A and B are shown apart, each in its own frame.
Chain A
Amino acid sequence: MTLSHRSSSSRSRRDTRLVAAVATAALGSSAIFVLIVGFLLKESWPALSTIGPARFLFDPAWRPTEGLFGLAPMLSASLAASVGAVILATPLGVASAIFCRHYAPPPIGWIHRWSMALLSGVPSVVIGLWGLTAIVPLIGRFEPPGASLLAGILILTVMITPTIALTSGAALDSLPDAYGRGAVALGLSREATLAHVLLPAARGGVVAGILLAAARALGETMAIVMVSGNVVQAPLSLFDPVRMLTANIALEMAYASGSHRASLFVSGLMLTALVIALAAAAWRLSGDRCHG
Chain B
Amino acid sequence: MLPTSSLRDALYRFGICIAALLVAAIFFWLLADLARQGVGRLDWTFLTTPPRNAGRDGGLAPILVSTFLIVFVAMSVAAPLGVATAIFLSEFTPAGGRLARWMSLSLDVLAGTPSIVFGLFGGAFFCVFLGLGFSILSGGMTLACMALPILIRTIESGLRSSPIEWRLGAAALDLSRATLLWHVLLPAAAPSLATGLSLGIGRAVAETAALIFTSGYVDRMPSSLFDSGRALSVHIYDLTMNVSGGDANAYSSALVLIAFLIAANSLAFWFSNRIFGRRVARA
Contact = CB atoms under 8 A, between A and B. Distances in A.
A39 B119 CA distance: 12
A220 B117 CA distance: 11
Contacts of A36: 110, 113, 117-118, 121, 145
Contact of A26 (B20, B88, B247): B88
Nearest to B231: A125
A25 B209 contact: no
Nearest to A265: B120
B47 interface: no
Contacts of A23: 88, 92
A221 B241 contact: no
Contacts of A134: 29-30, 33
Contacts of B237: 125, 128, 222, 225-226
Contact of A291 (B23, B104, B175, B261): B104
Contacts of B233: 123, 125, 222
A130 B30 contact: yes
B13 A103 contact: yes
Given A246-B114, A268-B116, A292 B9 contact: no
A99 B14 CA distance: 11
Contacts, number: 268
Main SS of the interface on chain B?
helix
Interface of A: 1, 3-4, 6, 8, 11-12, 14-15, 18-19, 21-26, 28-36, 39-40, 42-43, 91-93, 95-96, 98-100, 103-104, 112, 115-116, 118-119, 121-130, 132-134, 158, 161, 165, 189-192, 194-195, 212, 215, 218-222, 225-226, 246, 249-250, 253-254, 264-265, 268, 271-272, 275-276, 279, 283, 290-292
28 contacts: A1-B173, A15-B176, A15-B178, A18-B181, A25-B81, A28-B85, A29-B152, A30-B107, A35-B121, A39-B129, A103-B16, A115-B28, A116-B27, A123-B208, A124-B209, A125-B236, A125-B237, A129-B247, A129-B251, A133-B33, A191-B8, A215-B112, A225-B241, A226-B237, A254-B212, A272-B114, A291-B108, A292-B96
